[in-house]
Amino acid sequence: MITQRVRKVGNSLVVTIPKEEAERLDIGEGDLVGLEVRKVRITPTMSPEVRAAFEQSWERYGDDYRFLAEH
């Protein structure tokens, strides 16, 4: 499944087809295409290694991170 952000162009909302996908499906300007439109929510997840590195960094530099967030 391809996910794309919706943009406003004039009074319309626009979703683009990535070049690679258009080439793969042989879609060109003027072609008629079918779409299934639905809102999606993507929740990022961290690998255990990244999570461990983050927690270590937070433990060591938490005060600095909080300072930066406030300024």
3-state secondary structure of 24: helix
Considering the entire predicted model, what is its pTM? 0.54
Q: What is the pLDDT of residue 69?
A: 95
Task: List CB contacts of 14: < 8 A, sequence separation 6 or more.
Answer: 6, 7, 8
Q: What is the pLDDT of residues 13-64, one digit of tens each?
A: 999 999 999 999 999 999 999 999 999 998 989 999 999 999 999 999 999 9
The domains of the chain are located at 7-70
Query: Residue 71 — very low, low, confident or very high, per pLDDT cuts 50/70/90?
Result: confident
Q: Is the pLDDT of residue 11 over 90?
A: yes
